[in-house]
Structure 1
Amino acid sequence: MTILLTRPYALSINSKHRLLMLGKNSVIIPLIKVQNIDIQVMDDNYDVVILTSQNAVHAVEKSSWIKRKPIFVVGNKTKEKLLQIGCGCVMSSNGTARNLEETIVNNVSNTLRILYLSGDYTSYDLDIKLKSRGYDVTKKTAYRANAVQSLSKQEIGVMNTSDTILFYSPRTASVFTKLAWQYSLRGNDKVAICISNNCASLISELVWKEIRIANRPNEKAMFALL
């Protein structure tokens, strides 16, 4: 079995290592390329910080004041990274951005000021959702997620010979679908493993051998479907 990892390279490297520990071979073709933005965020009386991606962790590393604040994140992998760089109080919803919204509503007073460190593209407008519920949220862009626009002959060959493709986000699924039509990529002999129903819906217009959806929106649940 050859597994194709399509998430950003830095995250795919970690996934590749975990797959190797399970005795699985994988190849990496990132469909999203992350460009960090070197932002310096001043402590403007923020009480709480939220992150919806591991890609935003770099914005916390040099900010000693952020490390002292309560930080709410989507996934446990992001929580682990923040704890490793010295953050003292990190809570994970271990789900989706929608789950994180409910976690914040259940644990944070709407009298507090929230800083949201995000990418330039988000599939769920968490800041707008929280504002509609009375929260004071300031959104700062910490990175850009640039979609791949073209594939090399080698990349096309790898995609066509892979048995299984892992999709970690709706954005990646959307980019793959566009490229699949553009390059007539073959999918009828492949299994697609998606992190969520939303992700799966974006590749469903393509022909697959099978689409499998994780019962929890995390990598562990995805790997269980291999």
Structure 2
Amino acid sequence: MRVWVARPEPGAARTGAALAARGHIPLVAPVLVVRSTDAPPPDGPFDGLLLTSANAVPALRDVAALRGLPVFAVGARTAALAIEAGLGPVREGPGDAAGLAALVAQVLPAGSRLLHATGTARKPEPAASLAAAGFSVALFVAYAADALPALPNSAQDALAAGALDAVLHYSRRSAAVALALADGSNHGGAFRRLRHYCLSADVAFPLEAAGVPVHFVAARPRETDLLDALASYRGDGAR
């Protein structure tokens, strides 16, 4: 199966390798570029660190004031990178913001002060649920995910040639940007005809709102579940 990976690096290359190992033909062509904001974190003290994206981890690696803080990571990949960076102790959440908020409430008492390392484009959760439960959440905008000005040439060429079968969507923003860039490059029709595999219902939202048929939405936000779903295509996951 010929699969476009539109998520940003460093995750895109890893996903491409996982696809190739399963016999697929990946096209790694991110539509977002992640960069550090180089901003310092706010002053503590804090009782815990919230990580809702692996993209925040590099900005935290060398912050001495955050060493030894309990880390609450949204899912397995973010938790693994936090451990590699020497953060923690690390507790792994179930992969979604609501579950992460519940995990914090199980471990820390209400009134605890948390630092949420996030990006410039962020959602209200888990901070809203934690604030409602009596926690104090300070934001640290650690990174930005900038949209490319145009669809990557490799993706344009593949869409024009009908050389793609599917696209994997890992975030709501990357899905929305991929759609906008495809439309802007006059390849919106070809983009809509692809089989769209989404990591969650939230990721699928901008596609469905635009009338793009979504083939698969993972019941759990796990990459393995997303890749496993490709295997149902023509029986063996390969074209």
Q: 1:179 to 1:80 in 2, by over 3 A?
A: same
What stretches of structure 1 move > 6 A for 4+ residues in a row? none
Distance 1:42 1:179 in 2: 35
Q: 1:64 to 1:152 in 2, by over 3 A?
A: closer
Counterpart of 1:25, as a letter, is I
Uncovered stretches (5+) of structure 1, i.e. residues with no partner: none
Q: Aligned with 1:137: secondary structure? A: strand
How does the TM-score come out when normalised to structure 2?
A: 0.86
Uncovered stretches (5+) of structure 2, i.e. residues with no partner: 231-239
Query: In the alignment, is the contact (CA less than 8 A) between 1:98 and 1:124 conserved in 2?
Result: no
Which residue number corresponds to residue 45 of structure 1? Answer: 45
How does the TM-score come out when normalised to structure 1?
A: 0.90
CA RMSD of aligned residues (A): 2.0
- Give the % identical residues: 25
Query: In the alignment, is the contact (CA less than 8 A) between 1:123 and 1:170 conserved in 2?
Result: no
Which residue number corresponds to residue 224 of structure 1? Answer: 228
Distance 1:28 1:172 in 2: 13
Q: 1:88 to 1:125 in 2, by over 3 A?
A: closer
How far did residue 126 of structure 1 move?
Answer: 2.6
Post-superposition Cα deviations, 1:33-86, rounded to whole Å, max 9, x if no partner, equal: 111122333662111001100100012210234231100011100111111122
Q: 1:139 to 1:57 in 2, by over 3 A?
A: same
Q: Aligned with 2:10: secondary structure? A: helix
Distance 2:49 2:216 in 1: 34
Moved more, 110-119 or 32-41: 32-41
Distance 1:121 1:143 in 2: 9
Distance 1:11 1:3 in 2: 15
How many residue pairs get aligned? The number is 225
1:184 pairs, out of 184, 187, 198, with 187
**1:173 maps onto 2:175 in alignment:** yes
How far did residue 97 of structure 1 move?
Answer: 1.5
Counterpart of 1:54, as a letter, is A
Distance 1:123 1:41 in 2: 19
Which residue number corresponds to residue 34 of structure 2? Answer: 34
